[in-house]
């Protein structure tokens, strides 16, 4: 009843108040989990498989991720102990995880999905983890991309949210703008790389650019271009890592003028002296 004040604090990045007590309702761990890694020829195939995932595995789906070929090569180059998941390289990869309580039921549903996707021609190759070690290896390849990028060179990191059908268009347009292709050459750190990976089910794209060292010319070509492109796609300039100081000047590209004024009014009401995490969200707050 009444206003749900806690929702106002979620995502406010400490600019409206300090949470001093928190209660978490934790669900039980799933007793049955499966992890599959798929190789695909195009991002169009990725989108087709995503649609099939959502319709076929909706009751047990717990994660659906994607990474491009350059991201996979980075992980295989820089992460210790990881194993190459498929014998052949593919332009795109998807990681699909299911979680449930009936191992036989879940496995049958996943097998049926994989058979249909491969028969349709959308999936070129794939592997289904047979034990916990293989599951961890597949997840490490996806989750270790950020770590691999930092080992390769200076990284310009962008966490944005756009419609799924537009996700890789943004990566391709950035490559075109910077004059680079999608290939990754681990032996040459002087080359600029643009990679894309992320949480496909949420439309959350991690677009990262690497150079040997910080390059002001490259940075100037990336910003504000990337935020302008995201805005034109009706997306969000920040998906899961917040606005902070770095994106405060671009927040208006994701929010309407009325919404910005309402947010500033809330800030003034709850923090009139501007002491709560100052200079975040709004450059002059």
Q: Rounded mean pLDDT of the chain? A: 92
Helices (H), the chain: 5-9, 43-56, 69-78, 103-120, 132-143, 145-152, 167-178, 216-222, 225-232, 257-270
Cβ contact 50:113 at 8 Å? no
Is a pLDDT exceeding 50 seen at residue 146?
yes
Q: How is residue 222 written in tokens? A: 């990336």
**pLDDT by residue (tens digit) across 51-103?**
999 999 999 999 999 999 999 999 999 999 999 999 999 999 999 999 999 99
- The whole-angstrom separation of Cα 35 and Cα 33 is 7
SS3 of residue 167 by DSSP: helix
Is a pLDDT exceeding 70 seen at residue 284?
no
Percentage of the chain with pLDDT > 90? 74
Query: Which band of pLDDT confidence, cut at 50, 70 and 90, is reported for residue 240?
Result: confident
**Residue 285: its pLDDT value, please?**
44
Task: Look up residue 251 and give its DSSP letter.
Answer: G
Question: What predicted TM-score, i.e. pTM, was given to this entire model?
Answer: 0.91
């Amino acid at each position: 009843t009444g206003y749900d004040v806690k929702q106002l604090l979620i995502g406010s990045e400490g600019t409206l108040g300090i949470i001093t007590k928190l209660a978490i309702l934790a669900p039980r761990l799933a007793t049955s989990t499966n992890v599959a890694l798929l190789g695909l020829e195009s991002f169009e195939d990725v989108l087709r498989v995503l649609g099939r995932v959502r319709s076929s595995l909706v009751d047990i789906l717990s994660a659906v991720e994607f990474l491009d070929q350059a991201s996979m090569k980075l992980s295989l180059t820089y992460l210790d102990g990881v194993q190459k998941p498929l014998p052949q390289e593919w332009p795109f990869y998807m990681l699909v995880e299911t979680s449930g309580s009936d191992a036989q039921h879940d496995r049958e549903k996943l097998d049926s999905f994989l058979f249909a996707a491969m028969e349709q021609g959308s999936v070129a190759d794939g592997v289904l983890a047979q034990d916990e070690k293989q599951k961890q290896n597949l997840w490490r390849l996806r989750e270790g991309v950020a770590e691999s990028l930092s080992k390769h060179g200076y990284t310009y990191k962008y966490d944005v949210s756009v419609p799924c059908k537009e996700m890789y268009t943004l990566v391709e347009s950035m490559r075109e703008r910077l004059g680079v292709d999608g290939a990754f050459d681990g032996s040459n750190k002087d080359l600029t790389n643009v990679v894309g990976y992320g949480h496909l089910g949420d439309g959350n794209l991690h677009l990262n650019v690497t150079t040997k060292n910080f390059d002001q010319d490259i940075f100037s070509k990336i910003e504000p271009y990337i935020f302008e492109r995201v805005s034109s796609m009706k997306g969000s300039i920040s998906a899961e890592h917040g606005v902070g100081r770095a994106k405060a000047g671009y927040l208006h590209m994701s929010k309407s003028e009325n919404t910005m004024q309402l947010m500033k009014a809330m800030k003034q009401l709850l923090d009139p002296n501007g002491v709560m995490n100052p200079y975040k969200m709004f450059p002059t707050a």
